[in-house]
Structures are given as structure tokens and as C-alpha cells.
Amino acid sequence: MSETQDFEALTRYAKAFTGLTPEREACLLEVSEQLQPLLATVTDKFYEQLGHIPETAPFLEGRVDTLKKSHLAWIQSLFTGPFDISCTELMYKVGDIHVKVHLPVEFMAGAMSMINNELILLVIEQFADDQEKMALVLTSINSITSFSLFVMQQSYQESTVAEELDKFLRISGMSRVLFTNLANAYSD
Amino acid sequence: MSETQDFEALTRYAKAFTGLTPEREACLLEVSEQLQPLLATVTDKFYEQLGHIPETAPFLEGRVDTLKKSHLAWIQSLFTGPFDISCTELMYKVGDIHVKVHLPVEFMAGAMSMINNELILLVIEQFADDQEKMALVLTSINSITSFSLFVMQQSYQESTVAEELDKFLRISGMSRVLFTNLANAYSD
């Protein structure tokens, strides 16, 4: 757990793992104009589906309109880029916010699944007459949504452990320095 | 964090979130025969890609053949089911194992991204002449891989917190009962 995250390294790492290649980034930019007008529907359907899951209700109450706005802005950005360190920093911050509002970790993977399913249907319809293009667009979208999830989850994990540690230190009255020294002595 | 996980509730919850509907389960079973012979290639490509990421190398060294076997068995099971509580229990155990071997949490989302991209290409090729079927197969696959990720990550999170807690208790010499009492007293 690093206090100062190296976002350049994280960007490289996340791109390698999720297959976000320059070719796929170029593809996302290229289809942006065609897909942008259709993305609001993806956001609408996403919140409609969330509304049917009892576990998500408490996080939505009275906030759906605000949430929809930032959600749509994020989906739009998947096709406009830039796919650089700023994108990583943003998703890292989003992961951190999710910890602060005590969103269960599995919500993020679940949400991405819903969004991908909506985008799959949309892309197959839009690129029906060009199968090669369809394959490139679908894999590009899978890579960029996975990139977002990857970065969010790394941030989520680090923030969670940090929050747990704070709680334990508060309870035990132990200083962070003493804890670190003890942890090093006890590490397996 | 529950000591005894309610797997029936978790199955229902994970299915709702990842859109693993009875229709999609039936679709996976239906295309199983056609796709099974092609799945070994997905596993091979997956480990080939992992081999190019410096961060994953230490987890692969000398173990690729064994890992490939269990990986292929898992991919095959995505199409054979059963999509019930036994599937949830298995993925929960896999998440737990990943914590025990200290696999970074983001590996799971990253890995699923690679697997999905390989499966997308395979499905588009296989169902080139039936777009409606293609859409159903692609969303079904996205739902079942997301279901696996969802369950693994919930397990991973619970196991991680449990492991951290054990460490803190060992360091502080505090009993678990005292810790729980204090945590309740200090909870926000």
C-alpha cells in the first residue's frame, strides 16, 4: 500500500492486463460520434436494472438523477479519452469514493457486467453489416470498461485496508509507527 | 463478514446483479457442444498473454501446466453448469484460495477481461450467420464470467479483511471477543 500512487506505472500495468492497446483506443475514438447519442439509454437501463435489486436500493434513494449525470459523463468519456494517466487518476478517485460511501466491493464488478451487456446489444445492432469492425469495437469496449474496473478495484482495496487499519489503531490506541514496526517483526 | 456464508442468498444476489437469467443459462448449455472443442485455445492464449505481464510472472513460474488444467476445467464448466449453489460455493472457494496465495485483487478483473475478449472473438466467428443468436451468446457469456468474478471478489474481500484482522490481533495480543466489543463501541 503506497501513500503516493505511481499513476504512470498503474496506467501501464492496467493497460497491459486489460488489453487496452493503441489500436483499441483508436477504435473507441473512431466510433465515438456514432455511439454517443445512444449512451444515455445505457445509463437509463442501468439504473432501471439497479432499481430491481434490493441490495442496491439504499444507495440510490433520492440520488438517481445526480448519479445518472456522473454515470453518463463517465460512459461518454470511455469513447472520447484521453486514455492516459488522467483517466487512471479519475477512476482511482472513483474507487476511493466508493469506499467512503461504503459501497460493497462486488457492486463494481456487477455494475460493469450490466453496462457491458447493454453495450454488446447496442454494438451488434450498430455494426450489423461489418463483422470485423463489430469484433474490434466489442473487444475495445470490453478492454476500456475492464480498465476502469481494474483501476477502481485497486484503489478500493487500498482504501479499504487503510480504513480498517485506522479503525484498529483507534481501538488499540497504538501509534502507526509502532504498528508498522510490530507488523514488520511479525510478518511471515 | 459472516463466518457461515449463506450461499443460496449469494447465488440469488449474484445472478440478479450479473443478469444471469434462466434464458441465458439455457443458452450457455445449448452452445456448449459447439464451443467446448475451442476452449483449450482460450486457456492457452490466456496464459500466453499473462506471460507478457511482468507482475504476473512470479505467480506462474513452474506452475503453468497445473494452472492451465484447472483453468480449462473452469471455462468448460461455464457452459455445462449447473448454475446453482454448487457453482457459487466453488467460485467462493477460488476467491479464498486467491487470497491465500496473495494474488493481487486486480488480477481477477484483469484476467476476466482477457478471457472475455478471447470469447468475444470466438463467438463472433462461430455465430457469424445468426446475429440474434450471437447477441444472446455474448451477453450470456458476459453474465456467467461476471457472476464468477462477482462471487470470487466477495469472497476475496471477506478473506482479506479476516486475514488483516488476524494479523492485528496477533500483534496486539487482543482477543477476538475484546476486539469485537471495542469495534462495536467505536463504530461510526
pLDDT digits (tens, 9 = 90+) for B104-141: 888 899 999 999 999 999 999 999 999 999 999 999 99
Environment class of residue B111 by beta-carbon count within 10 Å: exposed (0-12), middle (13-18) or buried (19+)?
buried
Q: Distance (Å, rounded) from C-alpha A67 to C-alpha A97?
A: 13
Contact between chains at B139 and A121 (C-beta distance less than 8 A): yes
Residue scoring higher pLDDT (A104 or A182): A104
Q: Distance (Å, rounded) from C-alpha A25 to C-alpha A87?
A: 13
- A134 and A124 in contact (C-beta within 8 Å)? yes
- A107 and A155 in contact (C-beta within 8 Å)? no
User: Which one of B124, B168, B177, B186 would you mutate to disrupt binding with A, by most A Cβ within 10 Å of its Cβ?
Assistant: B168
- Per-residue confidence (pLDDT) for residue B42, from 0 to 100: 97
Q: Check whether B165 has a pLDDT greater than 90.
A: no
Decide yes or no: CATH 1.10.490.10 for domain B8-156: yes
Q: Distance (Å, rounded) from C-alpha B186 to C-alpha B188?
A: 6
- For residue B107, the chain A residues in CB contact (below 8 A) are 17
- For residue A109, the chain B residues in CB contact (below 8 A) are 109, 146, 149-150, 153
Contact between chains at A153 and B16 (C-beta distance less than 8 A): no
Contact between chains at B143 and A16 (C-beta distance less than 8 A): no
Annotate chain A with DSSP letters as a single string. Answer: --SS--HHHHHHHHHHHHT--HHHHHHHHHHHHHHGGGHHHHHHHHHHHHTT-GGGHHHHTTTHHHHHHHHHHHHHHHHH---SHHHHHHHHHHHHHHHHTT--THHHHHHHHHHHHHHHHHHHHHTTT-HHHHHHHHHHHHHHHHHHHHHHHHHHHHHHHHHHHHHHHHHHT--HHHHHHHHHHH--
Number of neighbouring beta carbons within 10 Å of residue B66: 9
Instruction: Give A127 to chain B, closest Cα distance, Å.
Output: 11
Quote the distance between the C-alpha of residue A39 and its chain's center: 17
B169 pLDDT tier (thresholds 50, 70, 90): confident
Q: Please, what is the average pLDDT of chain B?
A: 89
Contact between chains at B142 and A117 (C-beta distance less than 8 A): yes
Contact between chains at B186 and A164 (C-beta distance less than 8 A): no
| In the block, residue with C-alpha cell 473512431 | A30
Structure-block grid coordinates of residue B132: 440474434
Contact between chains at A117 and B14 (C-beta distance less than 8 A): no
The ipTM assigned to this model is 0.87
Structure-block grid coordinates of residue B122: 470466438
pLDDT digits (tens, 9 = 90+) for A21-77: 999 999 999 999 999 999 999 999 999 999 999 989 889 989 999 999 999 999 999
**Measured CA distances, B112 to A66, B151, B170, B182 (Å):** 30, 13, 35, 39
- Per-residue confidence (pLDDT) for residue A1, from 0 to 100: 38
Q: What is the 3-state secondary structure (H, E, C) of chain B?
A: CCCCCCHHHHHHHHHHHHCCCHHHHHHHHHHHHHHHHHHHHHHHHHHHHHCCCHHHHHHHCCCHHHHHHHHHHHHHHHHHCCCCHHHHHHHHHHHHHHHHCCCCCHHHHHHHHHHHHHHHHHHHHHCCCCHHHHHHHHHHHHHHHHHHHHHHHHHHHHHHHHHHHHHHHHHHCCCHHHHHHHHHHHCC
Q: Which residues make Cβ contacts (< 8 Å) with residue B42, sequence separation at least 6?
A: B75, B115, B118, B119, B122
Q: Which residues make Cβ contacts (< 8 Å) with residue B59, sequence separation at least 6?
A: B101, B103, B107
pLDDT digits (tens, 9 = 90+) for A158-168: 777 677 677 77
